Chain A
Amino acid sequence: MAVLLLAEVTGGELQLDATAKAMTAAAKLGEVTVLCAGASAAAAGEAAATLAGASKVLVAEDASLGHRLAEDTAQLIASLAESYDHILAPATTDAKNILPRVAALLDVMVISDVSAVIDADTFERPVYAGNAVQTVKSGDAKKVATIRTTGFEAAGTQAACAVETVAVPGATGLSDWVEDRLAASDRPDLTSAKIVVSGGRGLGSEESFAIIGALADKLGAAVGASRAAVDSGYAPNDWQVGQTGKVVAPELYIACGISGAIQHLAGMKDSKVIVAINKDEEAPIFQIADYGLVADLFEAVPALTEKL
């Protein structure tokens, strides 16, 4: 089986963690060709060539691919599709934007958020906010799927494989990029961090949310948030963990002032160890916590920061 893996490339750089995890899923299916697309993607291509499991890297460079707008990237992938049985990508927002479009261009059904690969046609994926896990078997000739990275270990490294450039179809001109407002942070990436400290509505304000950041910095952790914290403006949207935000599975997840709604649990319940700090002993978060502490977070969180 021939597999095309769309690498996660942002601003010309390979996002190693997401791509390496999707590679592990891809390698189970066959020989993997990695596609690096962007306004500049050569450096990403060089990096991808050293990912264990890559047999070839394709580099597609064109201004139209610069911000990974769905129309142009989907058109590129569709133009390459003939040679592959599987087309995969890590389930990032970029890939979720692009791959369903690719699937429809190929008249196949996309398989989103694959959490386990059973065989060439059969995959597991969470549904109903992770309340159920479905095993689905695709009858389509080609399989187009996004890979939930928390379900797979990152692939290791190898001696670089061959890198080729591919022709890019003409730009569709359907949409134009205007601007990115990307948060620069010294903290580790939320989806690959070993420790995540998350805050919820219980923090009460953007200013108070700083105590979550302080604990995270003490631990070298990433910061997450519940939807309520994001909706209330205490935290930016890219910190949201959950059914419709990011899915994380760190070694340690510390939930502070988060009640534990099913939509939040969907994004963190595969964490190895979960700590919950909440003043309400009835809060559902305690049902899935390994260590629960009933306390006022305004006392407990700074104390924890001090004592660690």
Chain B
Amino acid sequence: MKILVPVKRVIDYNVKVRVKADGSGVDLANVKMSMNPFDEIAVEEAIRLKEKGVATEVVVVSIGVKQAQETLRTALAMGADRAILVEAADDVHTDIEPLAVAKILAKIVGEEQPQLVIAGKQAIDNDMNATGQMLSALLGWSQATFASELSVEGDAATVTREVDGGLQTIKVRLPAIVTVDLRLNEPRYASLPNIMKAKKKPLDVKTAADLGVDVAPRLTVVKTAEPAARAAGEMVGSVDELVAKLKEKGLV
């Protein structure tokens, strides 16, 4: 069984995001970029399924600027077998929308014929939480989002999902899309020898145009602003003082 894992290059989760003063967006020039943390979890899960003998090949794909090659190399160093880069933008500030990404992924799925696509549940930049669900709709496949446990037996996968009320377990018919949540696993770090080996693994480059997908955005970003700042607070010296303040405010 082949597994396809889409990975996105995003601003590193530890970097303090700076909104540009002119409201045109977030400053991404000379900022540390990394693999979307949820996608790391997806890559890890695919590799574990290969190590268990469930999967035979793990193919990673990234859609965006050419620098996303670095993200793909990270996934290869973790243990993915092969990578595909779909160039769809020149400027690092261009975010390809989930609908266009899903359309490109649907084409790649057509070429690669995986039985399972494992994706992150959301990208930590646009916070859309949509690509997996959209891909699943375009393919007419089953979907299991927000996975915290995944097991594959025969032509079905059993997935435990993190939902508002607790946990839900469902069984999805393969081929399927699974999107992963934080608790699924702890991704490994790539070792130095594996980073060296990853440089020799195959990485195919295509363009969105090659695949015949229009990536023009449906949503125009009119403005990007700083969130409203909170008024400065105060420190209290003791529990008694805190209780007094809360009572004064009528909060307790």
Residues on A facing B (Cβ under 8 Å): 10, 67, 69-71, 74, 92-94, 96-105, 107-113, 122, 125-140, 172-183, 191, 195, 219, 227, 230-231, 236-238, 243-244, 246, 251-252, 262-263, 269, 273-275, 286, 288-295, 300, 303-304, 307-308
The distance in angstroms between the C-alpha atoms of A99 and B132, with both chains bound, is 12
- In chain B between 149 and 169, which residues have their CB closer than 8 angstroms to a CB of chain A? 158, 161-169
Is the C-beta of B92 less than 8 angstroms from some C-beta in chain A? no
Knowing A179-B168, A219-B252 are in contact, say whether A70-B145 is a contact too (CB < 8 A): yes
Partner of A237, one of B143, B167, B176, B224: B167
Contact present for B163 and A238 (CB under 8 Å): yes
In the complex, what residues of A have CB within 8 A of residue B230's CB?
Answer: 269, 274, 288, 290
Q: Return 21 A-B CB contacts under 8 Å, by A number.
A: A70-B136, A70-B145, A94-B163, A100-B133, A100-B137, A101-B136, A102-B137, A103-B137, A112-B127, A132-B26, A134-B223, A174-B141, A178-B171, A180-B169, A238-B162, A238-B165, A252-B252, A262-B16, A290-B233, A292-B233, A295-B239
Closest chain B CB from A83 CB (angstroms): 20
Is the C-beta of B34 less than 8 angstroms from some C-beta in chain A? no
Closest chain A CB from B24 CB (angstroms): 11
Give the total of B residues in contact with A, Cβ under 8 Å. 79
Knowing A96-B145, A244-B121 are in contact, say whether A101-B134 is a contact too (CB < 8 A): yes
Closest chain B CB from A115 CB (angstroms): 10
Contact present for A100 and B168 (CB under 8 Å): no
Is the C-beta of B235 less than 8 angstroms from some C-beta in chain A? yes
Among A128, A130, A172, A236, max chain B CB count under 10 A is at: A128
In the complex, what residues of B have CB within 8 A of residue A96's CB?
Answer: 129, 145
Knowing A100-B134, A104-B102, A231-B182 are in contact, say whether A128-B127 is a contact too (CB < 8 A): yes
Knowing A94-B163, A237-B183, A308-B252 are in contact, say whether A128-B125 is a contact too (CB < 8 A): yes
Closest chain B CB from A298 CB (angstroms): 12
- How many residue pairs bridge A and B at CB < 8 Å? 255
In the complex, what residues of A have CB within 8 A of residue B69's CB?
Answer: none
In the complex, what residues of B have CB within 8 A of residue A231's CB?
Answer: 182-183
Closest chain B CB from A15 CB (angstroms): 9
Contact present for A109 and B141 (CB under 8 Å): no
The distance in angstroms between the C-alpha atoms of A236 and B246, with both chains bound, is 28
Partner of B251, one of A110, A178, A182, A252: A252
Is the C-beta of B234 less than 8 angstroms from some C-beta in chain A? yes
Knowing A70-B143, A137-B220 are in contact, say whether A175-B171 is a contact too (CB < 8 A): yes
Is the C-beta of B142 less than 8 angstroms from some C-beta in chain A? yes
Contact present for A273 and B249 (CB under 8 Å): yes
Is the C-beta of B57 less than 8 angstroms from some C-beta in chain A? no
In the complex, what residues of A have CB within 8 A of residue B173's CB?
Answer: 173-175
In the complex, what residues of A have CB within 8 A of residue B252's CB?
Answer: 195, 219, 252, 308
In the complex, what residues of A have CB within 8 A of residue B121's CB?
Answer: 244
The distance in angstroms between the C-alpha atoms of A105 and B138, with both chains bound, is 7
Contact present for B227 and A293 (CB under 8 Å): no
In the complex, what residues of B have CB within 8 A of residue A246's CB?
Answer: 164
Contact present for A108 and B13 (CB under 8 Å): no
Contact present for B223 and A227 (CB under 8 Å): no
In the complex, what residues of A have CB within 8 A of residue B249's CB?
Answer: 273
In the complex, what residues of A have CB within 8 A of residue B246's CB?
Answer: 252, 275, 291, 308
Partner of B11, one of A128, A130, A263: A128
Closest chain A CB from B82 CB (angstroms): 26
Knowing A109-B219, A132-B227, A291-B236 are in contact, say whether A71-B143 is a contact too (CB < 8 A): yes
Partner of A243, one of B127, B130, B135: B127
Contact present for B143 and A134 (CB under 8 Å): no
- B80-116: CB near A (< 8 Å → 1, else 0) gives 0000000000000000011100100000000000000
The distance in angstroms between the C-alpha atoms of A167 and B128, with both chains bound, is 31
Closest to A96 in B: B129
Closest to B164 in A: A93
Contacts beyond the supplied A178-B169, A289-B233: 15 A-B pairs with Cβ under 8 Å: A93-B162, A93-B163, A101-B137, A103-B134, A133-B225, A134-B223, A136-B222, A174-B173, A175-B170, A183-B165, A237-B181, A243-B124, A243-B127, A291-B235, A307-B243
Is the C-beta of B199 less than 8 angstroms from some C-beta in chain A? no
Contact present for B235 and A139 (CB under 8 Å): no
Contact present for A300 and B239 (CB under 8 Å): yes
Contact present for B242 and A131 (CB under 8 Å): no
Is the C-beta of B19 less than 8 angstroms from some C-beta in chain A? yes
Contact present for A244 and B134 (CB under 8 Å): no
- In chain B between 172 and 223, which residues have their CB closer than 8 angstroms to a CB of chain A? 172-173, 176, 181-183, 217-223
Partner of A132, one of B130, B165, B225: B225
Contact present for A132 and B224 (CB under 8 Å): yes
Closest chain A CB from B144 CB (angstroms): 7
